Amino acid sequence: MTEPLRPSVTAQHHPLLWPFLATLLIIGWSSGFVGIRYANQEASVMLLLFWRTLLSGLILLPFALAIGPRISMRAVRDQALFGVMAVFLYLGGFALAIEQKVPTGLVALISDLLPLAIAALSQPVLGERLTKRQWLGTAVAVVGVLIVSFDSLGFGTAPVWAYGLTVGSMLVFAVASVLHRKRKTQHMPVHQSLCIQTLTGSVLFGLCALTQGSLAPPMTRDFAIGMVWLVLIATFLAYAVYYTSLRLFPVAKVSAAIYLSPPVTMLWAWMLFSEPLTVAMFAGLAITLVGVWVTSRG
């Protein structure tokens, strides 16, 4: 884990750094839908997540060993814990909920409330007190997300525990994000920490996938395209930018950018899969933009 830098110093010297990182974060966070959409018809979600995390970790492994400080066992233990929380429990929890027939729209809505949970934890855990402006921006962004997600909401026929699983997964990631910001351990570059976290996730996802059958990947074009997208964009770009941003800026400010992921995901779906766009979606996008802008300024 890397020790957080002082946000005020970074913001003074690099006024365009946050808009740049926020743009990359939104693109990476929302693009996970694209890879899943391409590959999900070829394999179960657990098999998808196994290969996504395994390939990500193996690609990063030689760089993690050759570049950066020597990795201690304490650092491995700390990062493995975050791998369990931010990779296995978060991604796996939502994937399992969807497999249990929790409506995708409802899962997405609960996931998109992650910044609200992080904002609530920031003050008691980190001492990062949100201003009235930031709370107002958060409320406006939540309203925008609700408008965007309204058409896809439903309760379906999933068991009760599956709905609780979606809330629990979101809260686990919120806690992991706040702890990542709080803990001050030996400096570890993002590529090393992400390598340990994804390899930890791959072991756990592999065990889950084994209970469903073989770990062999489908040798199809769609699965390969989905894996490339999930590894390069949804994993390397999204997680690397997210953890880098957490070290440079207040956690509530970073997490607020995630509110823009659902409308951007819908734009992805419109461009790539010809899914329809509605007036309500554009209205929700505009309101969400206002909320994120107000929160970031605060």
Q: What is the pLDDT of residue 205?
A: 95
Distance spanning both ends of the chain, measured CA to CA: 27
Q: What is the pLDDT of residue 231?
A: 93
Confidence of residue 11 (pLDDT cuts 50, 70, 90): very low
Confidence of residue 2 (pLDDT cuts 50, 70, 90): very low
Which one is predicted more confidently, 14 or 171?
171
- 56 close to 236: Cβ distance less than 8 angstroms: yes
Confidence of residue 143 (pLDDT cuts 50, 70, 90): confident
Among the ranges given (9-13, 46-50, 138-142), the one the predictor scored with the smallest mean pLDDT: 9-13
- Please state the pTM of the whole predicted model: 0.76
Which one is predicted more confidently, 285 or 70?
70
Q: Is 34 exposed, middle or buried (0-12, 13-18, 19+ CB in 10 A)?
A: buried
* Nearest alpha carbon to residue 193 among 254, 126, 256, 242: 242
Among the ranges given (20-24, 135-139, 205-209), the one the predictor scored with the smallest mean pLDDT: 135-139
Q: Is the pLDDT of residue 202 over 90?
A: yes
* Nearest alpha carbon to residue 195 among 47, 36, 55: 55
> pLDDT exceeding 70 applies to what percent of the chain?
77
